[in-house]
Amino acid sequence: MNDFTPWSSLAGGAMIGLAAGLFAVANGRIAGISGLIGSLLQRGAEGRGEKASFLLGIFVAPLLWQVFTTMPPVHFTASPWALMVAGLLVGIGTRYGAGCTSGHGVCGLARLSPRSAVATLCFMSAGFATVFLLRHVLAGA
């Protein structure tokens, strides 16, 4: 099976960019997912319906995409505990980094934000180093 899917990847990236751009034009705010979720959890936050609709679209879009194409099966090689710890660490990182991959990597880089460039370099480097360590250094130990 070939996992190289340039056309569906290009379409997905274009849809992410379009959604982030439309959200910024319509709301005057960055479409950072961690920030949207955080603001939904605050009392009295403005624009809750728009934010909730945007976040709902993130979950509904793959379901709609299945109507047009066959989705590859998803296989997790990590344990559920490892996935939960990884998710917790990502959540902590988004709080300390004042944003997530969508806020910094998609929206911030598109605005040529130096702060977002540094944040993106940091989280991408940490991800590359983690995968290298887990798959190539610690895998044989």
Which pLDDT value is given to residue 61?
85
Which pLDDT value is given to residue 128?
92
Look up the domain containing 26 and give its range: 6-137
DSSP codes joined into one string, 76-94: --S-HHHHHHHHHHHHHHH
Indicate whether 94 belongs to any domain: yes
What three-state secondary structure class fits 118?
helix
Paired tokens of 11: 């379409």
Indicate whether 1 belongs to any domain: no
What three-state secondary structure class fits 2?
coil
Kindly report the average pLDDT of the chain as a whole number.
84
Indicate whether 33 belongs to any domain: yes
Indicate whether 21 belongs to any domain: yes
What three-state secondary structure class fits 46?
coil
Which pLDDT value is given to residue 1?
55
Radius of gyration of the chain (CA): 17
Q: What is the pLDDT of residues 43-83, one digit of tens each?
A: 877 778 888 888 898 889 888 888 888 777 788 888 899 89
Average pLDDT over residues 76-93: 86
Q: What is the pLDDT of residues 22-43, one digit of tens each?
A: 888 888 888 888 888 888 888 8
Is 128 or 100 the better-scoring residue by pLDDT? 128
Greatest mean pLDDT range, 2-11, 69-78, 103-112: 103-112
- How many folded domains does the chain comprise? 1
